[in-house]
């Protein structure tokens, strides 16, 4: 158990809908990362937050957004969902988000868009 929690575990929805994925980092970790894992694209970095502020952005679509709240939990919002958005979404956390820091991954949310 990494100490990172994610809800929900599974999510089934329809195209065009909007969903929110939630992540709670390990106790004491200030930085949160979101990743998308699909069969054809592997593990892709989406976005990083540190203590409530966006720190780095990766291959995140404009239809996707995220935020980190004062209690350090984070939410990833996916809107106007398409079939291709079906994937595993992982959250990871680290102490301060600096270079060389270990990231601890949560169990993931499996999203299926029908």
Helix-strand-coil split of the chain, %, nearest 5: 5, 55, 45
The phi and psi torsions of 84 (rounded to 5 degrees) equal -70, -10
| Binding-site member from 90, 93, 111, 113 for another protein (CB under 8 A) | 90
Could you tell me the smallest distance in angstroms from the CB atom of residue 16 to another protein? Answer: 28
Q: Is 100 in the site for another protein (CB under 8 A)?
A: yes
Q: Is 13 in the site for another protein (CB under 8 A)?
A: no
What six digits make up the tokens of 83? 């079939």
Q: Is 58 in the site for another protein (CB under 8 A)?
A: yes
Q: Which of 51, 55, 46 is nearest to 21 (CA)?
A: 46
Q: Is 15 in the site for another protein (CB under 8 A)?
A: no
The phi and psi torsions of 83 (rounded to 5 degrees) equal -55, -40
Nearer to another protein by C-beta: 38 or 79?
38
Identify any residues that bridge with 33 across adjacent strands, giving them in sequence order.
48, 92
Q: Is 21 in the site for another protein (CB under 8 A)?
A: no
* Chain positions contacting another protein, by CB under 8 A: 2, 4, 33, 42-43, 45, 48, 55-56, 58, 90, 92, 97-100, 102-108
């Amino acid at each position: 158990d990494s100490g990172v929690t994610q809800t929900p575990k599974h999510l089934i929805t329809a195209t065009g809908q909007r969903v929110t994925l939630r992540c709670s980092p390990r106790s004491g970790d200030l930085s949160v990362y979101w990743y998308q894992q699909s069969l054809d694209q592997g593990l892709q970095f989406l976005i990083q937050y540190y203590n409530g502020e966006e720190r780095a952005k990766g291959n995140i679509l404009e239809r996707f957004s995220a935020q980190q709240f004062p209690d350090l939990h984070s939410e990833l919002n996916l809107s106007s969902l398409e079939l291709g958005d079906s994937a595993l979404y992982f959250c990871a956390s680290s102490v301060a988000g600096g270079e060389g820091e270990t990231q601890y991954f949560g169990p993931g949310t499996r999203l299926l868009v029908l």
